[in-house]
Structure formats: C-alpha cells, structure tokens
Structure 1
Amino acid sequence: MKKTLFLLLFPILVFAQKTSTVKGKIVNKFNDPIEGVAISYLNQGTTTDEYGNYSFEIPIRKTVEVTYSHVSYKTVVKRFTTRGKRTINFSPTLTIKNEELEEIIIKNRKKEAEGITKIDTKKVATVVGPNAGVEAVLMTLPGVSNNNELSTQYNVRGGNFDENLVYVNGIEVYRPFLIRSGQQEGLSFINPHMIQNIDFSAGGFQAKYGDKLSSVLDITYRKPTKSSTQIDLSFLGASVTTEGLLFNDKLSTILGVRYRDNSLFVNDKQTEVNFRPNFTDIQTFLSYKLSSKVDVNFLGNFSLNNYNYKPLSRRTRFGTIANPLELIVFYQGQEVDRFQTFFGAFSMDYRINDNLELTGIVSSFNTQEEEYFDIAAQYNLGQVNTNLGSENFGEVEFSQGIGSQLNHARNDLDALIVNAQVKATLKDGNNEWRAGIKYQKENIRDRIREWEVIDSVGFSVRPPHHNIGNDQPYTPFTGPIEPFQNVRAQNTVDINRFSGFLQFSRKTTWGNHEIWFNAGVRSQYWNVSPVGAESKSQLIFSPRAQFAIKPDWNDDMLFRISGGYYSQPPFYRELRGYNGQISADVKAQKSIHAVVGNDYSFTMWNRPFKLTTELYYKDLSDVNAYSIDNVRIRYRADNVTNAYAYGLDVRLNGEFVPGNDSWVSFGYLKTQENIDNRGYIARPTDQRIKLGVLFQDYVPNLPDLKAYLNLVYNTGVPGGAPAYADVYSFQNRLEDYRRADVGVSYVFVDNNKKTSNKFLNNFEELTAGLELFNIFDIRNSITNTWVRDVYSKQQFAIPNYMTGRVLNFKLRMKF
C-alpha cells in the first residue's frame, strides 16, 4: 500500500539498490555546521550543504576509503565496509588547521546576499526573558518590536502581528484567532529545544515565501544523529525533549513536551486575582529514510491553553506629581477561556538527482477556541491628597468619578485549514530555479456574543453614536437601556486559495566582483464564500527581485538591494469588521517595498565584527486599518486607507568579549496612515526609536560562570482610543518601553568540559542558573483602561502596567 501511494505521488521512484548509505553532519568544535566540506570516494565526490549535512552511496561488501577535506580544517580519512544494505551515520568534528590562514577566508555569502539574518541557535538557548526562545532573540534585532513581555508576537518595520510569515521545515504555521492578551497566549508554536537553524528576513524577501507584507521567520527542526534527552526546569514550567534513531537508523525522531505556568508574573501585576494560567504543548518531528533519494517526514503539534481568571481588586496610581489620581476597582465574576489547537503535516523529499529535488506537503490545522466571561467592576476615580502636613497624605480625599461596568462574552470559534503543495528545485551550475503550487481550504465557524454596559453614578452611559437626547438628571429619560458596546454575529465562511510561485537565482562574477541575482513572481487566486451571502473572488500578482554584489576590495563589504510589489490577501480576521460581520469583498493589502543594505565585516581588538545597515521604504495601498488592544487586532474590514513606512536599521555584532558573540542594534521607524482621505496620522505600530542589546560575558578566572544581558528600549506607540472613539481625536502615546533582563549560569558539564565526578559523568550537559527579569522594576504600560468622569464628561486613560521584577531559577540537564 505504501509503495502504491508513493508511485501515485512520484511515479519515477526506484527503491532497489545494492548499496549502503553514508550520511551525517559535519561540525567544528563549537558545534557549528561546516558548509563546503569536500567528500571524495571511489573517484566520486560530494559536499556538505549549508547545514553541514551530507549523504552518499557506497557498494556493499567492499571497503571504501572516504576523505573529508576543507581548506580551513584538518583532513579526516575514514574507511567503511558493509555486508548488507544499511545506513551508516558518521558525523566527524573537524579541527582547525594550526597554520595561519590569513589570506584564505571561506564564508557563505548566500544568506547575506538574500537579506537573511542567520541566528545562532545557542543564542536561543541562553537568551534571558519572560518568553525565552526564538522570539526573545528577535526582539533585540533592529526593526523588530513588541511592548508586551508576556507575548511572543512581534511587529516588524511598522507591520502588525498578522503580517509575519512563520515556517517550520518549510511548512507554514498558524496561531489562534481569539486571543486578546499576552496572558492568554502561552507558548509559542516554535519549540526552541528542537531547532537546528533559524533564518529571519525583515523585508524584501524572495518569491518562494508566502503572501505577507512584513517578515519571514524560517525555522528548521533537526534530524537527530544520536539518542539524547534534555530536561529543562524552572519556576515558570518544564520541558522534556527526547530524540534518537530507530529501525537501523532509518527513522530519526524528536519529541518535545512543554508546560508553562505564568503565575509568577501574574502575581506581580497591579490586579489582585485568583489566577493560575497553564499552557501545555506536545510536538514531534519524524523523518524516515525510504531510500537514498526519498525521505518522508511528519510534523505534529498539540497545544492547550487554559485561562481561568477571577479578578478581585485593582489599585493604580497615575497622573502628575501636582495632580495625582488613583483608580480603585472591585470585581465580581470570572473569565474562563480555552484555546485548543491541532496541527499535522506530512512531507516527502525526493532527490531525483544531484540537481533536481521535489517536495510534497500535506498539512492540516484545527483550532477550537472558547472565550467566556462575566465580569462586573465597581470603580472609584479619586484625587490623592498631596499635602505633606496632612494626616491623610497619600490617601484619596475626593471622588472624581464613581461608576460600574459589566462585561459579558460567549465567543466560540472553530477553524479548519487544510492545504497541499508541491515544490521543485532545479540547479544548473550557478543557476537555480524554484517553483511551487499550493491549494488551501479554510473553513471557519464563528459565534460572537459580546456586550458591555457602563453605569456612572446611577446613569447608564449610552453608545457614542446614539442620537437620542438625554438630559438626565434634569429631565427624565424613558428610552430603553442600551449596551455601550454590543457585538452579535454568527459567521460560517469557506475560503479556497490557489497560489504558486516561480523564481530564478544566479551567482556569477563581474570581473573579480561576486554577484548574486534573484527574481521571481507569486500569484494567488482566492474565493470567499460566507453562508447566506454572495461569494467574492480575487486575483493578485507579486513580482520580487534581489541583487547583491561583493566588490573585490580590501575591505570586506557586501551591498544589496531588494524589493517588489508585495500583496497580502485577507485572512478571516481581516474580513471581520468591528461589528463582527464578514465583508467578503475586502481586497488584498499591497505594498511597494524597497530595501537597500550593506554588510561590513572587519576586525577590531583582533576579533571579528560585522556592521549591518539597511534602509527601507514601504508605500502601502488598499490598507485594512485596525486598532490594537494588547495582542488583539480589530480590523475595519475595508480598504479605504493608504499608508507608508520608512526607516533605518543598524546592527553591530561581534566578539565584544573573546569567544562570545553579542550585538547592539538601533532602529528608526516612521509609519503613518491616511484613513478615507482625512489626513495622515500615526499608525498603531509607529514606534520611532528602537535600541536592543544582547550581551554575554564570563568571569575570566572562572569561565564556566557565564552572564547574559538582554536590554530593550522602545519609544512609545499610540495608546489607542476608547471603544467607538475617533482615532483622529486620540493620538496620545504610551510611555517609552524600557526593560533589562539579566541571567547568570554555571556550567557543571558540557561538550567542552568533562569531569571525574561519578555523579556528573551521568550527564552530557548540566547547567544551573538564576534569571532576574526587569532588574530595574520599571513599570511599562501596554494599553489603557478608559474611565469616564460624569462631572467633567472627561475620559481618563489609566495605564495597564506589565510585569515588575521577578526572580527565576533554571536547571538544564542533558543525558
């Protein structure tokens, strides 16, 4: 049956061969993969790819001598003999040659030429932060920002969370729809303990990537070459990752289980609650080698977020020194949310020959989300006594506003997304062709029942758009009581998408200058069919190009320019307006995007450094304007907005401390929008200045004691507006975001440190450490709560502060 299935998918498969397979991954002593290692055997040869991987065939019942050589490393010679068909895993660690190689510098420039930032996986393992992982490293890069340490979402160069592509092993992944706060979000899809490679592009990316406007995060999970288990424990939760080989090393398996509890952060917030949010994630990646040419892979994920929230009281002091105010709130009720997602994907890689490779992928994503809450709040907004000689100094002496509100929701969403795609890669010397086609079907069933009633000193506050006069308390009002907000909708939508791409890449020379060129085009046709409404279909094209040159100069520099006409067809959330209704005729948002960049590699203090600089500009049209409340994005579901974004990103990375790579990044951004020709105003993501530092150090006399610093400074973004308010009337900004996290760890055992202690010899790696989040205890605000004063008719923005200083203990064990 299996053979029949593969014959249907790829009719030219051939399985029977009287050979054995030799494969592995070649690394250096720092466990970094080595690209371009020449492997010669039986007058034949191959080389390792950019990830250090290789594979070739040898005849059985014959001794074969294999030579592994590289210009910068010592040569390794290995003899293999097999008596039957099998797979041999050989992953040598090459050592650097002793002689000086000042005139020979081997570097892989392909990723740099493509505008791709490669992130060291060791940074992910050591980064310090409430949400440590890939996203925490991204937050320190220029052009990437997020003012919510409880969220793993990020904005890139003026875009929002929904404009970022995320791939794992070439498979696009999704996130839940209804999550509205970072406290509910839980774990990122990406399991940092399973990662082999991380590529990130902040803009100007190639046609092979999907139809989004801002960025691409391309993750590769590793295929294990040996058996091991890693356990991570902390006050925030635990994770277990186990990996190994089965069935004569044909099946490589890696399984990760994670559990997280955010109580440590929640208990530090300004609201007193009965709250224990917990998040569980199970993820696996399997790869089975059917033959020397065919690999079958499976990526699976299950996650469950339980969010049971029962607020009790809140006390927030704000305002100025001369006029301090205090908000006191007492709550009744609770919120019970449940977000459950399933994801599964099968893929097949078929290497027809050294130049042609086919990949087929079938995947399915299902999310079942419930958001139920009934919370009543009674609040008192008062002036604080500032008289130092008063017995009541620091207490509320006058109530400026008294009122209450009741929030209710019964929201349910069930979304199923399935797709199938085929991709091909053809290499012809220095030329490379890539092409692919994809079909995707989305079925979304969504029920919204959400309302808010506001009462101020006994008088119901009516919706702002209400046109009936109300002169209470002087004149009795006999009209019906209406909720201040009331959203009721029930949507069932089917969306069918057909997309494809074709791109051409070439590496060549112009004199002694190296040149890279890439050009491609994407296209997508989609049809939106809401139940009970007319279906709508649209078609878009997205041409893109890149050009890079490395001049033959004494200075090591690379220049690149990239851009194109990018389009983002609407996903379900972008089709749903403020009233919860679906607008099937929402167009794709479009962006003419241009990026100019330079990489300058140099030596300072006899250590390597690199300065990366990029200028970018985006001209956006058919924009679907939105508002942001914590991590919830609410769209207008129209295309009456134009916008632009431009900025400068600079990053200096290198060995500020010998043997440890760190970096400092700076970003400047300006993005504005013009809604329905009313004039340009700042977009919700208009974060003008960004400064990030990722630094690691060690004690000179005790190198196993290491320290890590993660520092972020962002200027304030527009703080949003009250519900139903005109954003043109509310352009105030939140305070600047400042945060510093520090961690220290001690290495008892690792690959570079062995011990004679019998107990420690049981571990391949053992590390323990302490982390101090928000070391300066800075109170950063993420949103505002709007409170109305019945006397002055004024609305006050009370900041909702994020987490304060928190101490965490961490323990890592690897067997």
Structure 2
Amino acid sequence: MKQSYLTLLLLLCSFFLWGQSEKAIITGIITDAVSDAPIDLALIYIKDTNVSVETAANGRYRIEIPANEEVILMFSRIGYKETSTTLTPMPVRSTRQVDVSLAPIDSDIEVIVRESKIEDAGLIREEVTELKLIPTTTGNLESVLPHIALGTSSGTGGELSSQYNVRGGNYDENLVYVNDFAIYRPQLIRAGQQEGLTFPNIDLIRDLSFSSGGFEAKYGDKLSSVLDVKYKRPDSTRASIGMSFLGGSAHLEGSLNAGKDNYRKIRYLFGARYKTTRYLLGTLDVKGEYTPNFSDLQTYITYDINRNWQLGLIGNINRSEYRFVPSERRTAFGLINFALELFSEFEGKEVDDFTTRMGGLSLTYIPDRQHNPYFLKFLASTFQSDENERIDIIGNYSLRQIESNLGAESFGDVLGELGGGIQHEYVRNFLTYNITNFEHKGGIELQGYHDDTQTTSSHFFQWSVKLQNERVDDWINEWERIDSAGYSLPYDTSAVQLFEVIKRRNNQNSNRYSAFIQDTYTWRRDSRSEFRISAGVRASWWDLNQELLISPRVQLLYKPLTSERDISYRLAGGFYYQPPFYREMRAPDGSINQDLRAQKSFHLVGGLTMDFYMGKRNPKKFRFITEAYYKSLWDLVSYEIENVRIRYSGLNDARGYAMGIDFRVNGEFVPGAESWVNLGFLRTRENLLGVTHLEREKGQTEGTPVKDVPRPTDQLVTLSMFFQDYLPKNENFKMHLNFTVGSGLPFGLRGANQIYRNTYRFSPYHRVDIGFSILLWNRERIGRRPHHLLRFTRNSWLSLEIFNLMQVQNQAGNTWIKTVFQQYYAIPNYLTSRRINLRMKFDF
C-alpha cells in the first residue's frame, strides 16, 4: 500500500512539473499614456480564464501563459480604457515583453501596446524613483551614474565632484542632453569643492538613457558617452520639498486646460535647489572659513497648441559662489618608518563665482497618422557662462619628519625640518562664453507589408541640421611664487624669479555646422527572431580650423524569440570625432592653437542583455548586461588632471587606445527594492608623438623604454554597488547602501611628466555611504489616522545618512613642494571624512 501511494505521488508530481514546464512567460510595464507614469494594481488576465495578476507599485507585471497556443491577454484598470492584445504561440519556457500604455477614459488617446523587446541601440534606460534614494554628497544626478551605467567612475574628484569618466575618457568627452537640448558647464572649475549644481534636476526627470560608447549617429560628436535626459509631462498637480544639512530643493508640476478640448493643455515644471557643502568641507586637512553657496532655478513648460503642434520652453539660472579663507593645514603622510608632516599657515583668501544661464525654445509637429507617421522638430537655444576666479593666498609651509616609533616617548613629535618656505598663489581670471544654436530634426517611419501576419518590419529615417555660434572672451592673469629656504625658485642670483606666470587675453568667435542622417530598420517574426540595424553618418565643419569630419556609425541588435532564455545581443562600431572646444585649444601657458584638429576614435562594442528570474516561491526579475569594447584613439590632445581641472597641451600630440569589459546586474535582490551592481575592467594607454617613454624598475636608477604609458584615466578595476533592504515586518523602514571601489589613478611629476609619464598612482579609492529612511506618512493611512500631523502630504520621508562610513582617507590630488635642491615632495590632498546628514522629503 505504501508503495502504491508513493507511486501515485510521483505520478502527480510528474504531471504537475510537466504542466509547469508547458508555460511561457509574459513580462512588461503598464504606464499612463498621458503622463508616462507607471500604473499600479492594473489587472492583467488571460481571456476566458481565471488566470490573472496585478501590477506592482512600479507598474511591472509577470504572468504565465500556455505555451504553443494563441492567447488573448487583457489589460484593465479603473479609470482607464480596457484593451487587449493577441499573442501568437510561444515556445515552452520562452519569454516575451509586452508593454502597455493605458489611456484615461476621458481622453482621446488610443491605447498603445508594444511587444518589442529590443531597446534603443545599447542605451541603458532607468526611471529616477530609486535613484533619488542613493546617498550622495553632491545632490546631482551625475553622481549616481557610476552605480547604474557601464564603465563609469567618478575620477579624482571623488564625492565632492559630479564629474565622471567613461571607459578611459575624461569628463569633457561626454555628451549631455535634456529634452534634446545640449547642456554645457563652467570651464574654470579646478577643485571639487568649487562645483555647484549641475543642470539636470532629478525632481523634474521622468527617465534617462545612458550609452557608454558605440552610440548612434543621431547623437553628437564626442569620444566617450551620451546621457539623454527626458523631463516629465505632468497631467496632475504635484509638488515636493526636501531639506538636509547640505541644502534643500522644491518643485512644482501640473497642467492647465487651455481650451475646451482635453488635448489643449499647458504643462509646467518648476524646480528650485540650494546646496552648501560647508558642513562637509570642515573635514578637509586645510582648515579655515568655507562659504560655498550654490543655487539653481529651472523651468520647463509645454503648450499643446492642437493635436499636431506642441511648443516647449526651457530655462535655467545657475549661480555658484565659493569663498574660502584658509588658516592652517596639517597633513601627515609617508611610511611607517619615515613619517612626514606638512604644516602650513595661510594668509589671504579665494573668491570664485560661476553664473550660467540657459534658455531654449522647441516647436514640434507630430500629425495624427495611422500609416507612416512622422515628426518635425525645431529647436533654438542660447547658453551663457560668466566665470570669475580671484585667489590671493600666501602659505608659509614647513615639511617635517615625525617620530613614528610607537614605543618612543617622543612619538608624534617633530624630529627635524626637511624644508620650509613660502608658496604664493595669485589668480585673476575672467571667462565669458556664449553658445547659440539653431537646429531642425525630423523622422519618418515607413511601415513594411507582409502576407505573413507574424512578420512586421519598418524603416525609421531620422535627420538633423544644426548651426552653432560660439563666442569666447578670456582674461588670464595668474602667477605663482615659490620660496624655498629663503631662495626663490627658479633660483637666479641676478633677479627674483616667479615660478610660473601666465598673462593672456583671448577672444574667439566661430561657427560650427553639423548634420546627420540615419536609418533604423526593424524586422520581427514572432516565431523566429527580432533584429534591428541602425546605420547613419554624421558630418561637421568648423570655420575656425576648416576641418571637415565625416563619421559613419552602425549598431546591430538581435534577439532570438525561440530560445528559452530572454537574451538579446548587440554589436556596434563606428568613428567618433570630437572637434576641439576652447578648453582643448588653450595650452598651459594660455596661448590658443586655432589649428588644433579634432580628436578621433574608432569604437567596437559587443555585448548581451539577459533577463532572468530568481527565487522559487516568488521569483523576481533580474537583468544582466555585459559589454566588451575596444577604442582606437589618434590625434589626441594630451592632458594632465589636477584635482578635477583638466590641463590640455593644446596640441594633437598623442595616440592611444582603451579596451575593457563591463558587467552589470540589477533587480530586486529584496522584493520591492531595486539594487544595482557594476563591475568594470579597463586598460587605456597612450604615447606622446616624438617622445621615447621610459619606466624605472624597482632598484634601478635608469629607465627602460616602454611602448606606451597609462593615460590619466587608466583605472584597472571599478566596482560600485547600490543595495536596498527593509525590515522584514516593516517595509516603511529602509536601508540604502552605496559602496564604491576603484584602483588608483596614475599621475606624474609636475612640470616633468613626459618621458617618465604617469609613473605613480594614487591609493585605491574606496568609500561606503549608508542611509536609513523611514516613511513617516503615506496618504493610504488617511482612513486610520485622519488627524495626522502630515495628512496634507502624499508621502513624508525622514532619512539619516552617514557619508564615508569607514572614515577612509581618499586622495583627490597632490600639493607639490619643491626644494632649492630640486627635490619634489607630493603632499596628498585628502577628500572628506565621515559626516552624518539628516534629510527630509515631503511629496504633495
């Protein structure tokens, strides 16, 4: 009898497992067709069955359907039009993504069902809801990119800077767009503590896309990456207020009916931000009075004139003020048996201000067409930056040897003075530049016809023509005096010499012309595969250096639909040229090279994206992305990095390459809490033309020739992780962990960094920031607590953040001390130490 029961149980299990295996999986996201906001609690069910699921708070769903059968999938939600889609038979255990935009009942918009899985040419797309929770000292969107984007690191600026490096490129090699408008930044910033608020306001952002290389021809002419930000199209009134020890922010969004028709609306976004890093800067080695004040006002308004025309207006005023009166500095460094300390006393102060203004106007035409839809867009924008540096600081320094023997009575005392002197820095720099541009872009989709109902195809042609005028007015007046042991350097018996003097006046007025044309062909057969090939070419010409650039680019994406795994492949290649901007043209002595040619590169990128599920009882979706790349670089303008300032040679004097591989996994490691892990390996090298580079081996006094040397951004390993968790029985209490590790960046001797180039490295950068958030109020509690103090808000959060939890001394650069005997000492400039921040956020 027992054997019979056991046999019956095994048979039942076999039938159950067989039934489970005869399934296919449908995943996707349900959004509002008007506002693009995710819709929660939407019902997805198989018609004429009781199989159904609901969407989560982020609009995502997962449902199992019978394999090898035609299925009608229904989508419904109170207040929205119900819709359905017919799914062709799918293989066993295969996966398909079906995204649906539901239209409100009172609108004339049709429901949009998108079954394509292939995404745009390798761009990583993210919503910003989870990104707002990442603990960051800058409050800028760019500071979170290393946690979500492939091959991205924060460089030498660390937590004080929003600059980022991508796959061996510096910050100037990155494109940034907001609603198709190109974004620029101040040029004279030399240290992370001077940086204010960047343009993208995270409270106004709907979503973002990021490509780490191999991007399409429709994006501009840079060597490394593109960040494409889209602002919201609000349909209802919302607002928020945030405040912390590091500043505050507020925003307002909504829409107004501009006529009797529902489609005629004015949608508006307003954002205001304020930041001060005085609390953070108090942990630096250089003590004194820090007064940094950064503010930003921004708006984006759209007017739907009628069904076909839309007018858009974007505006921004950004002001950064940095005042610093140093008093003294104590920095300890060296080895266990040879400890040194730099002690300095200061006189004077530094006053910097950077003011940028930007305004843009767009006019978009999208006619209501069912067949071969197209769009036309016209953009005009102007950007102005006024930058002033005023520095007059005298430092009396003493370089000392410190007793490092723990058992000695004089432990920590000064054993002797290795050197002393005066370092006097004087700067009066004024830069004004204006950028004005006009652009037309458009696109048309030509839909293919097939007798086979399972096959669809289309061509999407895009084009653009752009004219840009640039005007630069630059006054440079800076010098540095170094006195060592009573002797001015360089030493001269007949006169007192300054160590470095730059006095220049540069004026420049030029025009750039650029255009592109691109075709994206998409083909899909439900029972077979889907692929997309995008091929385009860019052309640009600059009337200053008279250089014509032609850069073809191509991307191929392929996804098999018969595979059990939800996986897609990407291959991209092309030529990427970067015409010089004013910064690249200006040599260290302030002179301008107007014949400077564009820096050039060839990208080859290959990778895959795989979606998979983990967990037995309640499986959660994860995404794995990996890309390998190689970039050949020529006509490079060599440079050195001091803190965050990039000092170019002003010459096309180098060749190089970058190669590596990146990995990323993201998903809900904890149900309901998205997390990311990024790991990258990089090797980027260069050689200066006409220079035989040498490298010293340990124990050798003479160098041996090497083929190439590290570029300033050569960072072998970068690892970043953002992880979220919450209490098992209380999801209102969350933890946000931000972990970053990066191997040391190279540097060389100041003024002697050519033959023995970038032979030293900073210590590895590693940092942990952690935050604890508690949901004080949610409007869903109004029934239980109608008289709560925060009942007038939708959500109210209180967060406690601990920056640099492990109190690691990371390095941002060096202060160079030179003795009369021509000896250099590199004194490390350390970044911030541990700080606790309290943050509150109210959503209305």
1:771 equivalenced with 2:782 (yes/no)? no
Bigger CA drift: 129-138 or 438-447?
Answer: 129-138
Distance 1:66 1:318, change over 3 A: closer
- Is the CA contact (8 Å cut-off) linking 1:284 and 1:299 kept in structure 2? yes
Report what 1:115 is aligned to. Answer: 122
Asked whether the 8 Å contact 2:712–2:758 carries over to 1, the reply is no
Structure 1 residue 109 displacement after superposition: 2.7
Distance 1:142 1:546 in 2: 17
Query: TM-score with structure 1 length normalisation?
Result: 0.86
Residue 557 of structure 2 corresponds to residue 523 of structure 1: no
Tell me if structure 2 keeps the 8 A contact 1:720–1:727: no
1:418 aligns with 2:433: no
| CA-CA distance at 1:653 after TM superposition | 1.4
> How far is 1:133 from its partner?
4.0
Aligned to 2:402: 384
What is the 5 A alignment of 1:127-526? 127-140=134-147, 141-146=149-154, 147=156, 148-248=158-258, 250-354=265-369, 355-429=373-447, 430-462=458-490, 478-509=493-524, 512-526=528-542
The answer to whether the aligner puts 1:707 opposite 2:735 as a matched pair is yes
Query: CA 1:564–1:28 in structure 2 vs 1: closer, same or farther (change >3 Å)?
Result: same
TM norm structure 2 = 0.83
- Report the identity percentage: 37
Separation (CA, whole Å) in 1 of partners of 2:335 and 2:553: 51
CA contact (8 A) 1:274 1:310 kept: yes
Q: 2:579 aligns with which of 564, 569, 584?
A: 569
Tell me how far 1:145 sits from its aligned partner. Answer: 0.6
Evaluate the alpha carbon distance shift between residue 34 and residue 708 of structure 1 in structure 2; reply closer, same or farther with a 3 A threshold: closer
Match of 2:839 in 1: 810
**C-alpha separation between the residues in 2 aligned to 1:402 and 1:593?**
50
Q: Structure 2 vs 1, CA of residues 197 and 671 (structure 1 numbering), >3 Å: closer, same or farther?
A: same
1:149 is paired with a residue of what secondary structure? helix
Alpha-carbon shift at residue 695 of structure 1 (Å): 0.6
Query: Could you report, residue by residue, the CA deviation over 1:231-252 in whole angstroms, capped at 9, with x for unpaired residues?
Result: 0010000111011223546211
Report deviation, 1:428: 1.1
C-alpha separation between the residues in 1 aligned to 2:764 and 2:498? Answer: 34
1-structure distance, mates of 2:198, 2:131:
13
CA gap of 1:483–1:727, structure 2 versus 1, over 3 A, is farther
Q: Is residue 69–residue 75 contact of structure 1 (8 Å, CA) maintained in 2?
A: no
Secondary structure, aligned partner of 2:746: coil
CA RMSD of aligned residues (A): 2.4
Determine the structure 2 residue equivalent to 1:540: 549
In structure 1, distance between residues paired with 2:657 and 2:647: 20
Q: Assess, with a 3 A threshold, how the Cα gap between structure 1 residues 480 and 357 changes in structure 2: closer, same or farther.
A: same
Consecutive unaligned residues of structure 2, counting only runs of 5 or more, are: 1-32, 41-55, 62-75, 87-97, 259-263, 448-457, 692-706
Task: Map Cα deviations across residues 574-598 of structure 1 (whole Å, 9 max, x no partner).
Answer: 1111111110110001001000001
Inter-partner Cα distance in structure 1 for 2:181 and 2:506: 28
Task: State the Cα deviation string for residues 716-762 of structure 1 (Å, max 9, x = none).
Answer: 00134314554625510000000111001011234666552423321
Residues 129-138 or 203-212, more deviating: 129-138
Aligned in 2, Cα 1:460/1:23: closer, same or farther, shift over 3 Å?
A: closer
Q: Is the 8 A contact 2:36 2:101 kept in 1?
A: no
Per-residue deviation at 1:23? Answer: 4.8
Write the distance in 1 (CA, Å) between the matches of 2:568 and 2:518: 22
1-structure distance, mates of 2:786, 2:326: 50
For the residues of structure 2 that align with 1:227 and 1:106, how far apart are their CA atoms?
A: 28
Contact 1:447/1:491 (CA < 8 Å) preserved in 2?
Answer: yes
Task: Say if 1:724 and 1:485 are closer, same or farther in 2 by CA, change over 3 A.
Answer: farther
Deviations 1:439-492, CA, capped at 9 Å, x for gaps: 000000001001101110111111xxxxxxx6xxxxxx5422221111111100
Q: Is the alpha carbon distance of 1:310 and 1:435 closer, same or farther for their aligned partners in structure 2, counting shifts above 3 Å?
A: same
**Cα distance per residue 1:241-271 (max 9 Å; x no partner):** 0112235462111100100010111001111
Instruction: Find the counterpart in structure 2 of residue 3 from structure 1.
Output: none
Instruction: Give me the whole-angstrom Cα distance separating, in 2, the residues matched to 1:746 and 1:691.
Output: 28
What is the one-letter code of the residue matched to 2:790?
A: L
- Per the alignment, in what secondary structure is the counterpart of residue 39 of structure 2? coil
Secondary structure of residue in 2 paired with 1:587: coil
Amino acid at match of 2:567: M
Equivalent positions of 1:710-789 (< 5 A) are: 710-723=738-751, 725-726=753-754, 728-750=756-778, 755-758=784-787, 759-789=789-819
Q: Provide the C-alpha distance between the structure 1 equivalents of 2:365 and 2:250, rounded to a whole number of angstroms.
A: 32
AA aligned to 1:706 is: K
Work out which of the residue numbers 618, 626, 631 in structure 2 matches 1:618. 631
Assess if the C-alpha contact under 8 Å between 1:672 and 1:682 holds in 2: yes
Deviation at 1:137, TM superposition (A): 2.2
Counterparts in 2 of 1:764 and 1:577: CA distance versus 1, 3 Å: same
The CA distance in 1 between the partners of 2:594 and 2:101, in whole Å, is 62
Paired residue for 2:90? Answer: none
CA distances 1:627-664 after superposition (whole Å, capped 9, x unpaired): 11111111111112101000000011122111222121
C-alpha distance in 2 between matches for 1:321 and 1:593: 45
Question: CA 1:740/1:149 → structure 2, altered by over 3 Å: closer, same or farther?
Answer: same
Distance 1:457 1:749, change over 3 A: same
CA distance in 2, matches of 1:151, 1:299: 25
Work out the CA distance in 2 between the residues paired with 1:284 and 1:404. Answer: 48
Inter-CA distance 403–349: structure 2 relative to 1 (3 Å threshold): same
* Pair 1:607–1:751, CA change in 2 (3 A): farther
- Measured in 1, the distance between the counterparts of 2:780 and 2:39 equals 12
Q: In structure 2, what is the Cα distance between the partners aligned to 1:124 and 1:261? A: 21
With 747-756 and 439-448 compared, the bigger mean Cα shift is at 747-756
Residues of 1 paired with 2:60 and 2:297: CA distance?
A: 31
- The equivalent of 2:720 in structure 1 is 692
Distance 1:77 1:503 in 2: 31
Residue in 2 aligned with 1:5?
none
Letter in 2 for 1:234: S
Find out whether 1:583 has 2:610 as its counterpart: no
Q: Deviations over 1:412-459 (max 9, x none)?
A: 001010000000010112210000000000000001001101110111
The CA deviation at 1:352 is 3.0
Q: Work out whether residues 143 and 163 of structure 2, in 8 Å CA contact, stay in contact via their aligned partners in 1.
A: no
- Pick aligned residue for 1:27 from 38, 46, 62: 38
Structure 2 counterpart of 1:607: 620
Does the 8 Å contact 1:121/1:197 carry over to 2?
Answer: yes
CA 1:119–1:26: 2 relative to 1, 3 Å: closer
Cα offsets for 1:54-104 (capped at 9, x unmatched): xxxxxxxxxx99544467799989765xxxxxxx59999x9xxxxxxxxxx
Q: Contact 1:401–1:788 (CA<8 Å) still a contact in 2?
A: no
Query: Matched residue of 1:625: which SS?
Result: strand
Give the drift of 1:687. 0.5
Report matched runs for 1:34-113 at 5 Å.
67-69=82-84, 80=106, 108-111=116-119
Instruction: Tell me, yes or no, if the aligned pair for 2:35 and 2:232 is still in contact at 8 Å.
Output: no
Q: CA deviation at 1:496?
A: 0.4
Gap change, CA 1:270 and 1:509, over 3 Å in 2: same
User: Partner amino acid for 2:538?
Assistant: R
CA 1:440–1:702: 2 relative to 1, 3 Å: same
CA contact (8 A) 1:346 1:361 kept: yes
1:662 aligns with 2:662: no
Contact 1:506 1:516 in 2 (8 A): yes
Q: 1:353 to 1:75 in 2, by over 3 A?
A: closer
The 3-state SS of whatever aligns with 2:772 is strand
Unaligned runs of 5+ in 1: 1-21, 36-51, 53-63, 81-87, 95-104, 463-469, 471-476, 529-535
How far the C-alpha of 1:795 sits from its partner, in A, is: 1.0
